[in-house]
A = this chain, B = another copy of it.
């Protein structure tokens, strides 16, 4: 692959931004997962801090509200000793008519080192990274914290980390992604990552209204019958069902959804006996997942959160570390 064409990689092939897992080389993905390993056991230390980003200014630019994701990046940055500035952009200059790129230029002029960007518009983090490149500010880094329906690469990386942690070899796995794949940047990022790492069998499971057209082009198999889709799989990734979907015409009712696509102990029994259950959170108990499964011994939902901090520390220190 030509590193020069991937805006995430510098001329030497090093990671400079994290925008999407699509097109990111397997070696880069694996190097991030490897870098996250020491941070994953960080919680056991008395002093949970390293000076890798000391004196660096990390801006959390959340154009779309997400306390949970913002918190994980804030914790990761503080553990790396960065100075973190949270900007709720809805309430600031943007509402005064300033353009996105003027806002970015201003923050760069304040000597920002990194932008963690969440935006409801797909492509906003790419736009910022391209602008920084075009204007010669290659020392400022962008990490995509979720853009529209496009990508959520740190979530994808933490999912990959979790799968590798429990299952080791991607090249021998069956992974099922269940639920609202249509609206899920989480699913998109994970599917891209699994493909790059050579996962032979990826399945998407959900009602016709929530599975994107032509998703088979991403190398996955589609199931509308959850029981068929779960058969003998190693990993089950349950997606959050956004409440607003249930208000529209896409779904009959929460009860109907749970009956067909909610993960229960009964359905889980169809997967391999050592299959793991994942969920990006926050969970809707009783809608996409039954409480006994969420809290059961096959659930790795809370370890995912811990690994999420580690993966974000790895990404941030790789792109901007001293």
CB A79 to nearest CB in B, in angstroms, measures 7
Q: Give A57 Cβ to nearest chain B Cβ, in Å.
A: 6
Determine if A303 and B109 form an interchain contact, defined as CB atoms under 8 angstroms apart.
yes
Q: Please give the distance in Å from A110's CB to the nearest CB on chain B.
A: 5
Is the beta-carbon distance between A78 and B83 smaller than 8 angstroms? yes
Residues A281 and B55 in contact, CB atoms below 8 Å apart? no
Instruction: Decide: A106 and B285 in contact? CB cutoff 8 A.
Output: no
Would B309 and A72 count as touching, CB distance under 8 A?
A: no
The distance in angstroms between the C-alpha atoms of A63 and B92, with both chains bound, is: 15
Which residues does chain B contribute within 8 Å of A56, judged by CB atoms?
A: 48
With a cutoff of 8 Å between Cβ atoms, the chain B residues found around residue A88 in the complex are 67
Count of this chain's copies in the oligomeric assembly: 3
Q: Which residues of B lie under 8 Å from residue A105 when comparing CB positions?
A: 302
A284 and B95 alpha carbons, distance in the complex (Å): 12
B-side contacts of A281, CB under 8 Å: 93, 98, 102, 106
- B residues near A302, Cβ cutoff 8 Å: 105-106, 108-109
A110 touches B55 (CB 8 A): no
- Kindly provide the distance from the CB of A298 to the nearest chain B CB, expressed in whole angstroms: 16
Name A301-322 residues within 8 Å CB distance of B: 302-306, 308-309, 322
From A16-24, A39-47, A164-172, A219-227, give the one contacting chain B: A39-47
Contacts of A87 in B (CB 8 A): 67, 71
A282 on the interface (CB 8 Å rule)? yes
Find out whether the CB atom of B85 lies under 8 angstroms from the CB atom of A74. Answer: yes
Could you say which of A109, A304, A308, A322 has the most chain B C-beta atoms within 10 Å of its C-beta?
A: A109
Please tell me if A128 contacts chain B, counting CB pairs below 8 Å: no
How long is the Cα–Cα vector from A93 to B282 in the complex, in angstroms? 7
Q: Tell yes or no: A213 within 8 A of B by CB.
A: no
User: Closest approach, in angstroms, between the C-beta of A153 and any C-beta of chain B?
Assistant: 19
| A74 CB → nearest B CB, Å | 6
A303→B103 CA distance, assembly (Å): 14
Smallest beta-carbon distance A320→chain B, Å: 10
In this assembly, does A49 line the interface, its C-beta being within 8 Å of a C-beta of chain B?
A: yes
Chain B min CB distance to A281 (Å): 6
Flag whether A121 is at the interface (Cβ < 8 A).
no
A214 interface hit (Cβ, 8 Å): no
A-B contacts, 24 of them at CB < 8 A, read A42-B111, A43-B111, A47-B54, A47-B55, A55-B79, A65-B91, A67-B88, A68-B92, A68-B106, A71-B87, A93-B281, A96-B282, A97-B284, A98-B282, A98-B283, A102-B281, A105-B302, A106-B281, A106-B305, A109-B302, A109-B306, A110-B309, A111-B306, A111-B309
